[in-house]
Amino acid sequence: MQLSPEDEAFRDEVRAFFAAELTPELRRAGKLMTSVYADHAAQMQWHRKLHARGWVAPAWPVEHGGCDWSIVRHHIFASERVRAGAPPVSPMGIQMAGPAIIAFGTEAQKAWFLPRMLSGEHFWCQGYSEPGAGSDLAALQMKAVRDGDDLVCTGSKIWVTHANVANWAFCLVRTSTGARKQQGISFLLVDMTSPGIAVRPIVMASGEHIQNQIFFDQVRVPVANVLGTIDDGWTVAKYLLEFERGGSAYAPKIEVALAELAAQVAAQPAGPGRAPLEVRIAEARIRCDILARLESDILSRLSAGASTGTDASMMKILGTELQQRVTELVLDAAGPLARAFQPGVAVPGGPIPGHVPDDYCSGEVWQAIAPLHYLNERASSIYAGTNEIQHGILAKAELAI
């Protein structure tokens, strides 16, 4: 990507900000993440720093607290964040609920929710999947029955990231039954402190408590908290999924991970397994170069005002599959030391029951956290719509199947 002198000056401004504001603790939290989610305390500390600079929600319209950046500058900012090792902000509010409220919310909803989302006072989680409705999201059954000015909600949501620390949730609920499953669904903004809400932790294979199940027992939510119109929440959900699936710049993160891995492998003693591993790393770097070119092409078309069509699905498939491949390479490079469960040296996105932070580990830190990365990354091809679903979207749109 060729940068103009003005964009180069912006890149330098971003680098200077990161150099000045990233404390050693924040850099450590970014470097030792084991999933796509940073440690909550570090995440919120960085959120407040970005908010003070006016950069916490750069993609929002300026009138709502966003930045008047070109698409290229958004990409520069995302790339420099990864290279600086800064933790990401939570995507649930700023990147998902926020754009949906801006697009579909009433003036009262925008005035109440958006400033509190920017400041970090409101921390959001997403209530979509249910025990019987995951990839087939339209099969959801959580009921919301109208009673005067309230909707009374009963049911359950599962795989809810950070529900244990969130004070607001956006949920899809069943308000009526139509001829099609997508009909009769409403998009609801729920105060997590409401009576009748219970959160149960789900401990992942990596040992981390990031996911949760939420139970709703006769929870009363004001009708005023419906986003869009009652029974037409599927329209809002489809709009929001575009941000969830297509809002990531995969290549910069993968480039950094592969460069670090190449250096770690080069520092190991020569042996029969090293050369084949270096070949696999080189192949992954070629794939990453291709991915970066595709991302640049999409940015160029967006800058020209063109639609990207199904590119969000394509990039979700390519990006997540390559991320998984990289964690497999790191696990192989770590060798036998990766067999030990040593989560205390990491800075995960949630607590690890029974373990406390520990600076000591067998081997090097990257070897100790390699299995945690590997286990967490298995979910990337599942969340935001499984990659099988994305293949179906591409086949239907591009091949008329």
Q: How far apart are CA 72 and CA 53, in angstroms?
A: 20
Residues 6+ away with beta carbon under 8 Å from 85: 22, 27, 30, 31
CA angle, 140 as apex, 137 and 145 as ends, to 5°?
140
Active-site hit among 130, 244, 255, 377: 244
Q: Report in angstroms the alpha-carbon separations of 152 from 15, 86, 147, 175, 222.
A: 49, 41, 7, 10, 9
Report d(CA 174, CA 153) in Å as an integer: 9
What is 83-151 written as a DSSP string? Answer: HHTPPPPPHIIIIIIHHHHHHH--HHHHHHHHHHHHHTSS-EEEE--BTTBSSSGGG---EEEEETTEE
Of 255, 275, 256, which Cα lies nearest the Cα of 266? Answer: 275
Amino acid identity at 247: G
- The continuous run of DSSP H or E covering 188 comes out as strand 185-191
Pairing label, strands 124-127, 168-174? parallel
The helix (run of H) or strand (run of E) holding residue 359 is none
Burial category of 183 from C-beta neighbours within 10 Å (exposed 0-12, middle 13-18, buried 19 and up) = middle
Is 260 catalytic? The answer is no
Residues comprising the chain, all counted: 401
What is the spatial distance between Cα 356 and Cα 348, in angstroms, rounded to a whole number?
11
What are the structure tokens assigned to 124, written together?
């959001």
The CA–CA distances, whole Å, from 184 to 106, 123, 139, 329 equal 20, 27, 11, 46
Q: How many beta carbons lie within 10 A of that of residue 269, not counting itself?
A: 5
As annotated, the active-site residues are: 244
